[in-house]
Amino acid sequence: MPLCLLLILALCGMLARPVQAQTQAKPGDSLAVESPTIRVTKKLGAGFLGGSFGVLVVFIIGESFASSSDPIAAVAAGPDIALLGYTFGCPLGVSWVDSRDRGILTWAGSMVGWFVGRMALERGDSWPFAPLIGATIASELWRKPPQDSQDSRVSVSLGPTPNGGLSASTTLHF
């Protein structure tokens, strides 16, 4: 149980970070900064839906194996395979709502969560949301930095001169 509590505390610590608001951004402006609480809530909701979809897909595939006389069929219907389907579905949902997400690191965070959930299952605890929390933490920790191309303060341009030369001009934006 201490590993599960550690995951929850890490998620709460991420929500407590201050928002780096830009003073020039207006509501509805593309430069406006989204609150981390809203962003994480969206990631948790979409990750839950993605994980549920992953479980559904795994059970459909597992049921097709169960109809045959394959020895894998017993494993395909167990909680381990459901947790594995949830582990692969969660990062899809988390990455879907964040355009600055690094997908492979979100998958890695989900796998760490799967490992924590698997350890909890072996000890008799039930911790099905560990992959979701791991994917969300990894997504928040390793987000891509924002693109500064739209709010650049300096721009340089080249233009032709009347005598056939090339002139460079620099513009400062305030």
Do the bridges between strand 166-172 and strand 154-160 make them parallel or antiparallel, or are there none, so unpaired?
antiparallel
CA dist 132 to 10, 19, 28, 49, 98, Å?
A: 13, 23, 30, 10, 15
Cα(172)–Cα(84) distance, integer angstroms: 53
3-state secondary structure of 30: coil
pTM: 0.63
Instruction: Give the CA distances from residue 87 to residues 31, 101, 153, 167, in Å, rounded to whole numbers and listed in that order.
Output: 33, 17, 43, 57
Q: What is the pLDDT along the chain (174 residues), one digit of tens a residue?
A: 555 555 555 655 555 554 444 444 445 444 456 677 888 888 999 999 999 998 888 877 776 666 556 555 555 556 667 778 888 899 999 999 888 888 899 999 999 988 888 888 788 777 778 889 999 999 988 888 766 555 566 778 888 888 888 888 888 766
